[in-house]
Structure 1
């Protein structure tokens, strides 16, 4: 028997299955990153965004597709991470608009929902680029609208087939994809979602359960729970700096004393998250493995009581740490101006704090904060005007979305790099009016040239450069300019290209993979070479990048 109509329950199962499929394939989607640098996070961002949409309705007993669609759209909107996640949230927002007023929908009404999803997605992007996720959602909607299938399962089969055929053509639409010999990552992520939805219909899947996310931040549907249903009261998170390679014994010790457990090892750091009633015991077991840091324990019952007292769109529904956020001192009088900065690396975080940033959200490459993360920070600030420094091109859309949802005056300064963010806040003048400061900061970031030194995560050929896994890469304004084997030499090479006769200042932020003594020797050589320029060097302690460099 086919599906001539689908209600909220069926749609929910479709999206849960899609979320599970994307979670399984997110690493593959990440691997389609055009550049072979360790920052491919499209699959992760889309998976976490979709997961948040599902969690928003996980405990609703509702058959109306209108209500399920609307709540899913809200969950996706608040959980949106990265550009791909924001676009995905807009697709769900459009679908919700298209099925508005319906308890269930037939094939034509569902097709119209997809069409609205495509319209909202295109509207969200200032300069839409074909060959991306936008092209795939448009293809999906066009296929659905043109279909004569009454059975929605058959309609979705055609949608998936046509979307895949268009995805296969994306390398012909974007030369950079053709050079890298990959299809678009966002488009692939959306295809996985569409296929997951179709699979649920094809196999008549009922009561689909959301699988646990691997290494992802566990979101809470706290507002849908009664306090008495919170079995484990303390959200406990921390890092263990350890050389141990086997964490299975540790994981087994924890599995019976809590839930929502995530124990993930990343090189010499073990990331731990668990809901438990005995955080002290958890910490006593963890310290046996190594030195601990970033310990955070939240009372979820207390937070739940707080959640119930704030209005719908301003809910602090996450009971998790907001990417290493620092606690704010409560001030009796509102400040005229306040700053939020997205940053990663203890050294760089400290620089922003020293420059007067009120709230530092830890995030950036591979760890994009969500719309809700940023919105929560905005709402906690006691300030008339809030500036947000995204410091990453993949965070700007989420920041803009958070600004639109806030009832405060929020200005997102479109900083795409850490050095741009630092320059922006140094251009700030507390005596200026709001618009004067916006102009001053935007003018200042235009004077900054940024370069980074990282490593290749895979073999590829790009811009006539033969790149092997493990090669050191030097990028200037996001483009690979130098390939080598020595990080100091590559850094020196990109500085050569970045400097000119009008350059006055070189700023260097060295990361976790650099020796302080070697860096000091390197800087001494630069001071001789660029004797007429000021050279500043800081321990950024950032992951992934050996060096972040700026020239002004």
Structure 2
């Protein structure tokens, strides 16, 4: 059990929260009070955090601190990124909750966050959430955040675990109570959607503190299947018909930012070149134009969200207050009108290079660029699953380190009602072997079984150049040495790419094989792939050789045997 959170623990907290949002996204969306298409609180929470984590990763990679950033750097970067990536009012409020934790950690000046710092973070998160809405209402995420903060503060002397558990227990009880605190929630028979999302964040904190699911790769869906989940079936229960509530500028409830017959447009934009006084004036103007108003941020950047009928007036108000950019306008009725029907079985495949992408696209797959140094996020994979417009989708990650994101995307898509199957293709050669047996006329389950079998039956190897001095399974290597790998483990240290590749192929063929696939990367010398293919055919006349110009980075050669 942890006594304090380090930077690594904070990253784990964020990742587990993202997994929770992915697993329970549709459940939270279903808490929508009104039957309109913008009931997407769970979706907005997930996409906001997913995009922010991607942004932080890119920022830290550029700064050279990826994986080594301090706790303050991690939290401050995430807080700012979430303000930029926030989707819908639920995403904006989430950004303010995270901002509260970031401020507490920054002000503490400590390398780790113990009980006092986390309790302070809970309090600041609550204060930021209340400050983010024009007219706070009870029975919303605000109520739950305050309950968590008060309970956490009362247990500071007992340590971090006590603070986390007390906050989670208090939030759970407060969430249950929201149904009876707002008439709209009581009529619909649901709890507040945004508050349900915040409970997931607190549960993720408790799991990290208790070191439960610390190795997230081993537990891909802890929030979807664990019977100890603190959610109740009645959260998703839909009651009788709901009557209009009328305009409100208070905290949005149950995933809907407006009301039936209310404002027709959602307007969101970021605002620069402003100050606290002009931002306050903007709040007053927008409050007179519509509802579901949020103007949060500062001192140099604000995020603005409002539902209005007069889009022009909402944007003009922003121009008077500063410099709006990233303006996004959504017409709620169009969200239904533009949905495309889903049919058939589709394949989403990751590709690390343009040549591989061309091969998968030519075979009919929806391709996502993903590979070492540029791996796809769960959000990008989820977008590709949706873009396939299919009732059933088979996902080929084609990379061991993309499998986790693919699982999260598949889980989120399944919550939307899609039938998603993940094939554990951990290399491009396994993905190609799997796709080779795809039958568009067969069912998704049958295809998934056949493709999984094909991927598992494909032995894989690779050739790369050592980037530094190291000790490998095959002995020591120096920078520039040629490394041959089989099944992900270095088995050869040599100096000639072609000779090392032939050795790898020989090892792959030692237990038999009928087809050898050679994929050339962007670092492969001219003519190497063709020469290697010819040499393999001469040395093994009973096998067929397929040569592909994959264009993948980092690996001059990828090799497979089926």
Q: TM-score, normalised by structure 2?
A: 0.50
1:63-78 superposed matches below 5 A: 68-69=97-98
Offset, 1:495: 0.9
1:364-412: CA deviations, max 9, x gaps?
A: 1111111111111222222111111111111111112112222122212
**Mapped contact 1:65–1:99 kept (Cα < 8 A):** no
1:37-70: CA deviations, max 9, x gaps?
A: xxxxxxx999997875453459989998896249
Aligned to 1:467: 477
**Mapped contact 2:344–2:391 kept (Cα < 8 A):** yes
Q: Alpha carbons of 1:59 and 1:523: their partners in 2 closer, same or farther (altered >3 Å)?
A: closer
Aligned to 2:445: 435
Q: Alpha carbons of 1:307 and 1:396: their partners in 2 closer, same or farther (altered >3 Å)?
A: farther
Query: Is 1:305 aligned to 2:329, yes or no?
Result: yes
1:499-537: CA deviations, max 9, x gaps?
A: 125211110011112244333223222211111111111
Aligned to 1:354: 362
CA distance in structure 2 between the partners assigned to 1:459 and 1:481 by the alignment: 16
Give unpaired runs (5+ residues) of structure 1.
1-10, 33-43, 74-91, 130-205, 211-219, 232-258, 261-274, 276-299, 315-329
Secondary structure of 1:411's partner? Answer: strand
Secondary structure of 1:482's partner? Answer: strand
Query: Is 1:419 aligned to 2:443, yes or no?
Result: no
Query: Is 1:504 aligned to 2:514, yes or no?
Result: yes
Offset, 1:419: 1.0
CA distance in structure 1 between the partners assigned to 2:347 and 2:460 by the alignment: 22
Query: Given the alignment, which residue of 404, 407, 420 partners 1:397?
Result: 404
Query: Is 1:27 aligned to 2:37, yes or no?
Result: no
Aligned to 2:352: 344
CA distance in structure 2 between the partners assigned to 1:423 and 1:121 by the alignment: 36
1:162-213: CA deviations, max 9, x gaps?
A: xxxxxxxxxxxxxxxxxxxxxxxxxxxxxxxxxxxxxxxxxxxx96889xxx
Query: Given the alignment, which residue of 523, 548, 552 partners 2:558?
Result: 548
Query: Given the alignment, which residue of 378, 382, 395 partners 1:375?
Result: 382
**Mapped contact 1:472–1:486 kept (Cα < 8 A):** yes
Aligned to 1:494: 504
Which moved further from structure 2: 100-109 or 342-351? Answer: 100-109
Aligned to 2:25: none
Query: Is 1:55 aligned to 2:50, yes or no?
Result: no
CA distance in structure 2 between the partners assigned to 1:333 and 1:355 by the alignment: 22
CA distance in structure 1 between the partners assigned to 2:75 and 2:537 by the alignment: 44
**Mapped contact 2:434–2:451 kept (Cα < 8 A):** yes
**Mapped contact 1:510–1:540 kept (Cα < 8 A):** yes
CA distance in structure 1 between the partners assigned to 2:351 and 2:91 by the alignment: 40
Query: Is 1:458 aligned to 2:468, yes or no?
Result: yes
Query: Given the alignment, which residue of 144, 150, 154 partners 1:101?
Result: 144
Query: Given the alignment, which residue of 463, 484, 495 partners 2:494?
Result: 484
**Mapped contact 2:92–2:303 kept (Cα < 8 A):** no
**Mapped contact 1:386–1:409 kept (Cα < 8 A):** yes
Q: Alpha carbons of 1:543 and 1:380: their partners in 2 closer, same or farther (altered >3 Å)?
A: same
Give unpaired runs (5+ residues) of structure 2.
1-13, 15-51, 103-120, 127-140, 165-201, 221-296, 318-322
Query: Given the alignment, which residue of 208, 213, 235 partners 1:122?
Result: 213
1:93-172 superposed matches below 5 A: 101-103=144-146, 104=149, 106=152, 108=155, 111-112=163-164, 113=202, 114-118=205-209, 122=213, 125=216, 127=218
Q: Alpha carbons of 1:456 and 1:26: their partners in 2 closer, same or farther (altered >3 Å)?
A: farther
CA distance in structure 1 between the partners assigned to 2:467 and 2:473 by the alignment: 17
**Mapped contact 1:460–1:467 kept (Cα < 8 A):** yes
CA distance in structure 2 between the partners assigned to 1:551 and 1:47 by the alignment: 47
Q: Alpha carbons of 1:388 and 1:525: their partners in 2 closer, same or farther (altered >3 Å)?
A: same
**Mapped contact 2:82–2:95 kept (Cα < 8 A):** no
**Mapped contact 2:88–2:305 kept (Cα < 8 A):** no
CA distance in structure 2 between the partners assigned to 1:19 and 1:208 by the alignment: 20
**Mapped contact 2:474–2:491 kept (Cα < 8 A):** no
Secondary structure of 1:531's partner? Answer: coil
Q: Alpha carbons of 1:381 and 1:123: their partners in 2 closer, same or farther (altered >3 Å)?
A: farther
**Mapped contact 2:517–2:546 kept (Cα < 8 A):** yes
Q: Alpha carbons of 1:122 and 1:497: their partners in 2 closer, same or farther (altered >3 Å)?
A: same
Offset, 1:540: 0.9
Q: Alpha carbons of 1:484 and 1:401: their partners in 2 closer, same or farther (altered >3 Å)?
A: same
Query: Given the alignment, which residue of 385, 389, 410 partners 2:392?
Result: 385
CA distance in structure 2 between the partners assigned to 1:447 and 1:420 by the alignment: 8
Offset, 1:496: 1.4
Q: Alpha carbons of 1:507 and 1:464: their partners in 2 closer, same or farther (altered >3 Å)?
A: closer
RMSD: 5.0
Secondary structure of 2:144's partner? Answer: coil
Offset, 1:349: 0.6
